[in-house]
Amino acid sequence: MTIETKICGINSAEAMAAVRDGGADFAGFIFYPPSPRYVTPEMARGLRDVAAGRVKTVAVVVDAADDEIARIVETAGVEMLQLHGKETPGRVAEVRKRFALPVMKSVAVAAPEDLDRAATYEEVADRLLFDAKPPKDRPDALPGGNALSFDWQLLAGRTWARPWMLSGGLNAGNLAEAVRISGARAVDVSSGVEDAPGVKNPAKIGALLRAARDLHPIA
């Protein structure tokens, strides 16, 4: 068994081709206008076609209303929704029911109590995603995609009722340690395969996916 991989913030055909050829499991599209990785549903549809069915696509939304999610689902044809805002467990359940797609809920982690909050999503989400908390001293910080990691030790030995992904500041250089310490079986990377925010580097995507292929989840 190998580690599952998601490369997020895909906004070019070259990046999607690297994700596809490198054998990633998931590709994420950011539907959050303030992000340098933002894509429209129409752009995402074209990029999804590059993946030619070999990569599952994920829509990343932040506290999005139903009509916005509906337009993304209908136009981009994604296979999973990633809720990366302050959505409550009730809202996660509602989105999952309304759109009949698997839902992954992100939880911002900085301290042990954040994991207690994560437990409130176990019954309503199909997957959990643990990401670093955005920095408090940067009011303009994005809800995710800040190239920041958190203390992976917080996850060590914890078990969850749902599959989960590790994200936040991962790259080809720290992936092995992050997986070893946290026990992750799935990882999500965005900034770590970029040259600058929003500028994906296909060679870095390939290197990350090769690094992931050499890793195996701990039992």
Ligand X SMILES: O=C(O)c1ccccc1N[C@@H]1O[C@H](COP(=O)(O)O)[C@@H](O)[C@H]1O
Catalytic residue among 131, 151, 195, 214: 131
The CB-nearest residue to ligand X is 145
CA angle 102, 106, 111 (to 5 degrees): 150
Whether 131 sits among the annotated catalytic residues: the reply is yes
Indicate whether 168 belongs to the interface with ligand X (CB under 6 A).
Answer: yes
Measured CA to CA, the distance from residue 92 to residue 71 in angstroms comes to 18
Question: From the CB of 181, what's the least distance to ligand X, in Å?
Answer: 17
Among 169, 176, 181, 201, binds ligand X (CB under 6 A): 169
Measured CA to CA, the distance from residue 45 to residue 124 in angstroms comes to 28
Identify the three-state secondary structure at position 175.
Answer: helix
Question: From the CB of 48, what's the least distance to ligand X, in Å?
Answer: 16
| Strand pairing category for 164-167 and 127-132 | parallel
- 109 and 130 Cβ atoms separated by less than 8 Å: yes
Residue 22 phi, psi dihedral angles, 5° rounding: -80, -10
Question: From the CB of 165, what's the least distance to ligand X, in Å?
Answer: 7
Indicate whether 25 belongs to the interface with ligand X (CB under 6 A).
Answer: no
**Please, which of residues 72-91 interact with ligand X by CB under 6 A?**
84
| Footprint on this chain of ligand X (rule: CB under 6 A) | 8-9, 28, 30, 32, 35, 37, 60, 62, 84, 129, 131, 142-148, 167-170, 188-192
